[in-house]
Amino acid sequence: MSEMLRTGRAMAVATVVSRITGFVRSLVLIAALGLGTRLMDAYTAANVTPNTIYELVMGGALASVIVPLLVRQASRPEADLFAQRLLSLVVYGLGAVVIVTVVAAPLIVDATVSGFKPSQRHLAVLFTRFFMPQILFYGVSATLAAVLNARGRLTTPLWAPVANNLVVIGTGLAFVLVGGTGGATSLSTAQTLLLSIGTSAGVAAQMAVLAVAGRRAGFRFRLHADPRGIGVRRIAAMAAWTLASVAAAQAVFVVSTNLASHAGQGMLSVFTNASMVFQLPYAVIAVTVMTSVLPRMSRAAGRSDLAGVTADLSRSLRLTGVALAPVAAALIVLGPALTTLMFRHGGTSLEAARLAGQTLAVYGFALVPFAGYQIMLRTFYALGDTRTPALVSVGVSAATAASALVAAQVIGGARLVFALAGCTGLAYAGGLVAAALLLRNRLGRVDGHRLLDTHLRTLAAATAAGLAAAAVARAVDAPFGAGPSSAAVVIVAASAAGGLLYALAARILGVAEVRTLTSALRLG
């Protein structure tokens, strides 16, 4: 346990630094381009497209298939050759995808953000074409990270995004220095090239860091003209189910972005940035746990040690739930204050910042269910089962898309963005229940009584903390008014009150995992 916690702490530190620099990156871009502006919406729509296509083509398969395969190959003499051929396959396949998507950029923009005006569409298409090489950079980066994880280098890949963030921060600052503003209706050639090339250069820098780290770990970045010999058909068969689930998730993305683009000017960037803030605590805590536990689960599953898989699953869910519950309460209570502090700079209006915060507050209810759902899906992957989580994911995606389309028929304007966040949360809660029932059938047990007891105690403590934070926020907010400085005062005061009460209530209620987390912070 102590080794797991030490590794988890090191990974959490790397993730926190990465996410902090990511936040600074977002703040610089928002200050430069303006939250709620047409320029920011065009940039956002184009910049998320490479991630979306990468996830559709490869990202899901990497998490569900490639990492377990590399872990099982790691002890074999031909492990390096297997990884090199895999990397070659990724380079050739994604290189072809980049060429196709650059040509098809106008069609992609029309499919994802049909609500854009002609001038905004033109800019989104231009950005999209420059951003498409990121698909290849992401694929190579993810494969190198998987190789490092299989070699036990779990922390190193988490530092690589810092390079990406620093490059894009420099790009945003340079854009301001050359006279760029979010209110601009058109960009000069130099400004367009700066934003386009600088953003993609960040992802290239991330890839370069991982290549250097792989070399230091003894892995040679070498491409093979013939990448066969790694069981491509087997990998494709295993990844087929994951591809179906990722395709369903991307369909939800298309539906959501289209609806947000019709909700009003700037609503796409409001929705996207609220989602980004929601992902931060999940990435710092849940992703850290999943990254450290997946290789352990894969090895336990390889030994047919289902009891070991269940123990890791239970521990992961309990620690994650206890750590995320007070964060969820903070997002619900302090959402508008948080986004006012983060986004109310440069060309961002107070209204846009608060709309993002209200959307974030709705997302807060989904934080713990979403993290638990993702951990359970990774457990299926560790067991070598990609079919079951794919079916669950397709069901969750279908529920999200259907409820979002229904909501769009009865809700309009900014409130539609709140509804989209709520639809997402409800769908993930349903997916959590379905995944738990299916895992119980597969493993025989999931330590359900202990999990339920811990989460009910945690919920009680988090509710008390949230109520206290809300009372303090209301009392402090009145004399200070609006703006980033007053938001900072509210956040500090409410967080202190809520955090202290959560720790006290958790101790009174006997939530043992709080002590475990505290001990992890003290481990040397």
Please, is 225 exposed, middle or buried when counting C-beta atoms within 10 Å of its C-beta (0-12, 13-18, 19+)?
Answer: exposed
**How far apart (Å, rounded) are the C-alpha atoms in residues 117 and 268?**
14
- When pLDDT is averaged across residues 251-272 and rounded to a whole number, the result is 83
Is the Cβ–Cβ distance between 239 and 64 less than 8 Å? yes
Domains of the chain, residue spans = 1-230, 240-446
**53: helix, strand or coil:** helix
298, 152 Cβ separation under 8 angstroms: no
Least confident piece of the model among 29-33, 81-85, 304-308, 469-473: 81-85
Alpha carbon distance 300, 382 (integer Å): 9
Residues 115-141: b if buried by 16+ CB within 10 A, e if exposed: bbeeebbebbbbbbbbbbbbbbbbbbb
Buried residues in 473-483 as b, exposed as e (16+ CB within 10 A): beebbeeeeee
Whether 134 shows a pLDDT value over 90: the answer reads yes
Contact between 251 and 112 under an 8 Å Cβ cutoff? The reply is no
Q: CA-CA distance, 378 to 22, in Å (whole number)?
A: 25
Q: Report residue 362 as tokens.
A: 């709705």
Residue 328 reports pLDDT greater than 90: yes
Which tens digits make up the pLDDT trace of 197-237?
999 999 999 999 999 988 887 777 777 766 666 655 666 66
Is 412 in a helix, a strand, or coil? coil
pLDDT of 399 higher than 60:
yes
In this prediction, residues 53-76 reach a mean pLDDT of: 65
How far is residue 171's CA from residue 165's CA, in Å, rounded to a whole number? 10
DSSP helix, strand, coil percent of the chain (3-state; round to 5): 85, 0, 15
Lowest mean per-residue pLDDT among 84-98, 113-127, 419-433, 480-494: 480-494
Cα Rg, the chain, nearest whole Å: 23
Q: What is the C-alpha separation between 252 and 402, in angstroms, rounded?
A: 9
* pLDDT tens, position by position, 266-317: 788 888 888 888 888 887 777 766 666 666 777 777 788 888 888 888 888 9
Closest CA to 267 of 85, 161, 145, 408: 408
Tokens of 415: 């409130």
Mean pLDDT (whole number) for 6-19: 72
Going by the DSSP 8-state scheme, the letter that residue 347 receives in this structure is T
Cα–Cα distances (Å) from 68 to 72, 146, 209, 255, 483, in that order, read 6, 9, 23, 32, 48
Helices (H), 222-305: 232-262, 267-281, 288-302
308, 328, 363, 36 alpha-carbon torsion, rounded to 10°: -130
Q: What is the pLDDT of residues 432-446, one digit of tens each?
A: 999 999 999 988 888
Residue 369 to residue 432: CA distance in whole angstroms: 6
Residue 171's pLDDT is what? 94
DSSP 130: H
CA angle 26, 196, 180 (to 5 degrees): 65
Q: In the numeric block, which tokens belong to residue 458?
A: 């945690």
Given a cut of 90, whether residue 167 has pLDDT beyond it is: yes
* Residue among 12, 2, 3 nearest 290 (CA): 12
Computed over every residue of the chain, the mean pLDDT equals 83
Q: What is the pLDDT of residue 1?
A: 46
d(CA 507, CA 524): 24
Check residue 523 and give its pLDDT. Answer: 46
Helical H runs in 75-183?
Answer: 79-103, 105-112, 118-131, 134-150, 156-177
| DSSP states of 316-345 | HHHHHHHHHHHHHHHHHHHHHHHHHHHH-S
What's the DSSP call for residue 65? Answer: I
217: left (phi over 0), alpha (psi -120 to 50) or beta: alpha
What is the pLDDT, as a whole number, of residue 230? 60
